[in-house]
Structure 1
């Protein structure tokens, strides 16, 4: 008997072809639709808002996301084997980073990563909550902040303790704690070491990046994503936000319609877009702050302490957190090769948010899309310089706690903007004259227009702003979903 008589041919099933690692929608298609929310920018804030809306909303809501850059990496660079080496990682990052046109000379250290995921593709993943005193003037109740910090930390897998320990880190931490720094602790980091979850997912993303928000969003709710889509103007109808003008690299202009718009293009580019769009607000672009940034390398002595420990690096790092009277935070991690036994100290000082530190439009220079480039006016105050002096002494004391020496060139200061923590130019508040957005990130007196990036932060003290931006972006998304802003 011929078995083929009982076996039928498998039917062919038509499958859509996905030509990229994330589904891409053309601007031609997006121009034909109206979005309940259109998000501009895919970094920490934009990704977090997207994920939360995908989680909260049903299929009847339409969500769009546009990104000025292209699909550079599908995960954090450190999760890629060829970039796991420090030299290769640093070399690639230097090639990818671009200076911000118009930021020099006052903010000459400012750099940007124009790509899907933005600077979260390269960050250290150190994600502390700010010092409580830095949050005292925020227009958000502390119980709400704690809730949204918790949501962000759970999604990002932020933790300061891992199941494996290294004697090196225990020794370094102990020496600090018994020699003048009792507040020193392991740095909370957004790292996931679960190799396989029982829900069927495989983890290949140890370091967190905004790409994880984009991925989880796709698992919950479909959305449209366009890359190489540069927002050039916010459109308003009757005083309410109603769309975004977008340009492709070939300079073709599209007008995307949206009931709500979330801007997440960063502290320097978001006010640029708002000012160019003639969005009203006397504080837009003002109150720019960053972190003053000192760096030093410590060489562990060849005797005693250095002999006791193996300089295994990953995943631990240490921080000396901000405390009362010490308005700065110090991050500590290995530098160079393990055999060199060097430790790098990075000190981030609190900078006053001052009205005079601002982002404006250059009246004479425009980019290739016809949008004025920015002009940054920035200077440290006397109080800021006092914090720098205090940080310098603390770095010397930290080295002394280990019985070690700071290596040449000694303690050095990086130029303003080099910390990549710039914030504040659309800060939230209740007074339209001293803030650009309300406590939920909505631009004062412009319904439907929200901001969800570092620019909304009034201050984070000396802490890295990424966790705070993500927590507030999730809160903004909840507000939009809960208030039925569409």
Structure 2
């Protein structure tokens, strides 16, 4: 019998994936990879002929954001779980001594602080894209992340910070938006996973259609043929080499 913790999301072996030709192959299951996978599965929901693969260097770690674990809080998740399940850059990149890399299904989204503020308008005016064009995409992203100011609104620390910013002429400052689902469970919809992580996207993807997920996949290089990308070279934990395309 396969225990639930190892079976909550289906995976394929690297050997199986090497023998499959994919229309899209996604590298990494963090914020970017999870979002791309979810959107593709939504768009190709009724197109079973399309093959989607996604590769992750790490293994399964948590089913959701670390703060959704009942025995964790902000301090223990950051000081204990992140410390035990991440790799420090201090030896390789001493100028970023505090940076840590998470190799796991969901990547750093399992530990991020979920803050999703927009850049200030004065900064956006320097961009080559008009803010009105960006507005639609920001709105879609915030909806997808369940972004809300309700969680942080009224915080005494935040109010103090806002007053200081206003006094310095930074009048655009607003309550801090967080990727936190404030909806109550009702009408058959369960909202028990408030802190957002890429696992949310992996879940929505698998409810739309099948995809192949390969774990412990060390992607070493991109393969090309006739100046076009043809696949990737992947190492397994046992250092076996597979070419996936």
TM-score range, shorter chain: 0.7 to 0.9
Aligned pairs (5 A) from 1:42-61: 42-57=29-44, 58-61=47-50
| 2:83 partner SS | helix
Change in Cα spacing, 1:31 to 1:167, as seen in structure 2 (3 Å) is closer
| 2:195 partner SS | coil
Could you tell me which residue of structure 1 aligns to residue 24 of structure 2? 37
Q: Does structure 1 retain, via aligned residues, the 8 Å contact 2:162–2:174?
A: no
1:129 offset after TM fit, Å? 1.1
Could you tell me which residue of structure 2 aligns to residue 212 of structure 1? 200
Could you tell me which residue of structure 2 aligns to residue 21 of structure 1? 8
| 1:222 partner SS | coil
Paired positions, count = 240
1:274-293 deviation digits (Å, cap 9, x = unpaired): xxxxxxxxxxxxxxxxxxxx
1:148 offset after TM fit, Å? 1.6
1:147 offset after TM fit, Å? 1.7
Cα distance in 2 for partners of 1:42, 1:71 equals: 11
Could you tell me which residue of structure 1 aligns to residue 106 of structure 2? 117
- Matching residue within 74, 77, 86 for 1:97: 86
1:69 offset after TM fit, Å? 0.5
Cα distance in 1 for partners of 2:155, 2:23 equals: 53
Could you tell me which residue of structure 1 aligns to residue 140 of structure 2? 151
1:11-33 deviation digits (Å, cap 9, x = unpaired): xxxxx997421111111211111
Q: Does structure 1 retain, via aligned residues, the 8 Å contact 2:185–2:192?
A: no
Q: Does structure 2 retain, via aligned residues, the 8 Å contact 1:100–1:110?
A: yes
TM-score by length of 1: 0.46
- Matching residue within 204, 218, 232 for 2:220: 232
| 2:201 partner SS | helix
1:268-327 deviation digits (Å, cap 9, x = unpaired): xxxxxxxxxxxxxxxxxxxxxxxxxxxxxxxxxxxxxxxxxxxxxxxxxxxxxxxxxxxx
Q: Does structure 2 retain, via aligned residues, the 8 Å contact 1:128–1:187?
A: yes
Aligned pairs (5 A) from 1:271-350: none
Query: Rg bigger for which structure?
Result: 1
Could you tell me which residue of structure 1 aligns to residue 54 of structure 2? 65
Q: Kindly indicate whether structure 1 or structure 2 has the higher relative contact order, using CA contacts under 8 Å at least 6 residues apart.
A: 2
Change in Cα spacing, 1:85 to 1:182, as seen in structure 2 (3 Å) is closer
Change in Cα spacing, 1:144 to 1:26, as seen in structure 2 (3 Å) is farther
1:113 offset after TM fit, Å? 0.7
| 2:223 partner SS | strand
Q: Does structure 2 retain, via aligned residues, the 8 Å contact 1:83–1:89?
A: no
Matched, 1:248 2:218: no
1:150 offset after TM fit, Å? 1.3
Question: Structure 1: 5+ residue runs without aligned partners?
Answer: 1-15, 258-486
Question: Structure 2: 5+ residue runs without aligned partners?
Answer: none
Q: Does structure 1 retain, via aligned residues, the 8 Å contact 2:158–2:175?
A: no
Q: Does structure 2 retain, via aligned residues, the 8 Å contact 1:38–1:64?
A: yes
Aligned pairs (5 A) from 1:388-407: none
Cα distance in 1 for partners of 2:40, 2:98 equals: 34
1:88 offset after TM fit, Å? 5.3
| 1:242 partner SS | strand
1:96 offset after TM fit, Å? 1.8
Q: Does structure 1 retain, via aligned residues, the 8 Å contact 2:148–2:182?
A: no
Q: Does structure 2 retain, via aligned residues, the 8 Å contact 1:234–1:243?
A: yes
Q: Does structure 2 retain, via aligned residues, the 8 Å contact 1:25–1:226?
A: yes
Q: Does structure 1 retain, via aligned residues, the 8 Å contact 2:153–2:176?
A: no
Q: Does structure 2 retain, via aligned residues, the 8 Å contact 1:245–1:255?
A: yes
The structure with the greater share of residues assigned to helix is 2
Q: Does structure 2 retain, via aligned residues, the 8 Å contact 1:43–1:116?
A: yes
RMSD between aligned residues: 2.6
1:117 offset after TM fit, Å? 0.8
